[in-house]
A and B are shown apart, each in its own frame.
Chain A
Amino acid sequence: MSTGAGAATLLEVSGISVSFDGFKAINNLSFSIGRAELRAVIGPNGAGKTTFMDIVTGKTRPDEGSVLWGPMSTNLLKRNEAQIARAGIGRKFQKPTVFEDQSVTDNLMMALKAHRAPWRVLFWRAGARDAARVREVAEQVGLAEQLPRKAGELSHGQKQWLEIGMLLAQEPQLLLVDEPAAGMTLAEREQTTALLVALARDHAVVVVEHDMEFVRRLDCKVTVLHEGSVLAEGSLDHVTADKRVIEVYLGR
């Protein structure tokens, strides 16, 4: 059961499984998140966290199970990556992926919520509103000074921020954030948690993270994945007290 404001379910994943060459990466996994909810997903390396996000965003097709979205319970499995993104699911990748050959401004402009069809984009010109929005997002992620620079010249941490900025610019309803804190300084991590917590006030946010301190600061419901299925779910204290969790994850 999700809590408080997030009572209405936004994403409902049930009973999905996927195997790669006989190896079951996801095994009968179910997961749901509300409209305004923050959720941390933890689990050892290879637990299937990234694969789970691949399935939700349409990159990987599950062998079985269903992924339903929104108040109309739209079947996402029938949609491709771009359609899913347009439906309102944004994603930040584990390895920062920005367009290195292009400026920070261009990266953010491309992500900015707007029409996506070729014909519309061809005749689209950035107005004052768009420029202001890009600047606003850049300030939010601390890249206001870097706007004209090529993304490829940024440091690893700055690329992480840029990708988070692109995620914000997309204005999705659900944000899937894969290991955002990697390569960030302690201060930056704190800034990231603050940002994610603030976002979760009116968005659904799923954060995959290894760092326990980071997860503690998020102060939210935690889902523990292990060998492709949910091992435990609840508050951080609840799951860290769980014997099986200690055994497979924390005990090592």
Chain B
Amino acid sequence: MKPGFLSKNPSVLWFLAILACFTLVITLLSHAYGPGVISTSMVKTLGKTLCLCLIAIAMDLVWGYTGILSLGHFAFFGLGGYMIGMWLMYERTRDIVLASAGDFPMTQQEVRDAIGTQIFGVVGGSDLPAIWTFAGSLPMQLLFVVLVPGLLALIFGWLAFRSRVTGVYLSILTQAMTLALSLYLFQNESGLRGNNGLSGLQNIPGLAADQDHSSVWFLWASAFALALGYVLSAAIVSGKFGSVIRGIRDDEARVRFLGYPVEGYKLFVFTLTAVIAAIAGALYYPQAGIINPGEMAPIASIYLAVWVAIGGRGRLYGAVMGAFFVSIVSSWFTGGRVPDLPLGFYTVKWVDWWQVLLGLSFVLVTLLAPKGLSGLVDLLAHIRSPRRGGTPMGPDQGSLQQEEARE
């Protein structure tokens, strides 16, 4: 990064400052480092929310900037979670096995067998499948967090972009990919415990600290990853690369006639964002404690698009605002803490009606405030937008609409 990057992108400084303050305040109010005003479960919720903000940035890169409406990025998020989950579960089970053996000496093979029985007893198996070969090695599983989703995205993207699948068809294809992956993982034969998924992930092997402390550490790690992801993405979109991908979003044929290999750019962005999503997932699931194939259901990826749309696409902070706001409000509503709304003839239970509310606000934002929540920032900064005829900014389906593009 050259000097001048931050001065040209003041929003990056603002973002980092706000994120740092947020993290500091939560830390000082937590059980571990303060009076405990904020419960440990709340700290976990906030930490998870930061991970969702990170995947929202990935979504904004791929959809808001490049115009590829991927409805499959939660598949990569989930895969990242599974990869780290395998290590967490294996190591923890190993500790338990060794502890229960006491002084009784066990061979390597006996330990492995015992771990296999412990982990797979629930699905009626006892052998560790081949994909668990490296589960005992943290570096290997960390590598897989990046490699497995990255390779999947690379192969999928290569096939899809090479045959120039775009628009709605590409979105459907990405949905099919997530659906296929989650259905596959639901099977016991997949070797990842079928619908039971992986559990007990909140216990970090080799870490003596209690949940009060480890939850705050995970909050820090999530905040750090989010900061890194934000700066990296801002650097990418601020240069000529950003110019090219925004060109692809609005009019990809035109970009081709300038000599840019459009498919290569799409593949690059798709794969990079898949990796970002996977890293977000690898930080999320240790805080959630459990991962199962239901997490990769097609609807999750659709929600992701809704967050970004509500936040305002084509702006990184918009994606973060959308993900943060919607998931916090959502966990408030679905947590059963919101009082029911008695209408006399019918009682609105928010746990059930929250989704309707979300869908409605999505429609309203799209119609009335195309720039989403990030439009509020413009209001605060007194940015006035030039008026122009109300047309899309380019012929492609993913192109920014004129209302969105105002600055």
The answer to whether B243 and A110 touch across the interface, beta carbons within 8 angstroms, is: yes
A55 → B minimal CB distance (Å)? 13
Q: Is B239 in contact with A82, judged by CB distance below 8 angstroms?
A: no
A53-91 vs B, CB cutoff 8 Å, 1 = contact: the mask equals: 000010100000000000000000000111101100011
Q: Judging by beta carbons under 8 Å apart, are B258 and A101 in contact?
A: no
Q: Is the CB of A106 within 8 A of B243?
A: yes
Given contacts A85-B259, A101-B405, contact A124 B400 (CB under 8 A): no
**Are B261 and A117 in touch, CB under 8 angstroms?**
yes
Q: Binary interface profile of A, 89-103, with partner B (CB < 8 Å = 1, else 0)?
A: 011010001011110
A125 touches B250 (CB 8 A): no
Chain B window 94-112, contacts with chain A (Cβ cutoff 8 Å), 1 for yes, 0 for no: 0000000000000000000
B393 lies within 8 A of A85 (CB): no
Partner of B253, one of A81, A106, A111, A166: A81
Instruction: Take A99-B394, A109-B243 as given contacts and tell me if A80 and B250 are in contact as well, using a CB distance cutoff of 8 Å.
Output: no
Interface residues of B, CB < 8 Å — how many?
32
- Which among A85, A111, A166 has the greatest number of chain B C-beta atoms within 10 A? A85
Residues of chain A within 8 A of B254, CB atoms compared? 93, 97, 99
**Cβ contacts under 8 Å, A85 to chain B:** 256-259
Q: Which residues of A contact B405 (CB under 8 A)?
A: 100-101, 152
Q: Which of A122, A153, A170 sits near B386, CB closer than 8 Å?
A: A153
- Given A100-B393, A109-B240, A118-B268, also A82-B247 (CB < 8 A): no
Q: A99-B394, A152-B393 are in contact. Are A124 and B239 (CB under 8 A)?
A: yes
B251 within 8 A of A: yes
Given A81-B257, A110-B258, A122-B236, A152-B244 contact (CB < 8 Å):
no
| A102-B247 contact, Cβ under 8 Å, with A121-B241, A122-B236 | yes
Interface hub of B251, B259, B388, B405 (most chain A Cβ within 10 A): B259
B393 interface neighbour in A82, A101, A125, A170, Cβ under 8 Å = A101
A105 to chain B minimum Cβ distance, whole angstroms, is 10
Residues of A within 8 A of B241 (CB): 118, 121-122, 124
| Cα–Cα, bound, A99→B259 (Å) | 15
Determine the chain A residues whose CB is within 8 A of the CB of B393 once the complex forms: 99-101, 152
Does A238 sit within 8 A of B, measured CB to CB? no
B239 near A102 with CB under 8 A, answer no
Q: Could you tell me if B261 and A118 are in contact, using CB atoms closer than 8 angstroms?
A: yes
Residues of B within 8 A of A (CB): 2, 236, 239-241, 243-244, 246-247, 250-251, 253-262, 264-265, 268, 386, 388, 393-394, 400, 402, 405, 407
Name 30 interchain pairs, CB-CB below 8 A, sorted by A.
A82-B259, A86-B259, A91-B257, A97-B254, A99-B243, A100-B250, A100-B394, A101-B246, A101-B250, A101-B394, A102-B243, A102-B246, A109-B240, A109-B243, A110-B247, A110-B255, A110-B258, A116-B259, A116-B261, A118-B265, A119-B268, A121-B241, A121-B244, A121-B260, A122-B236, A126-B240, A150-B386, A152-B402, A152-B405, A170-B258
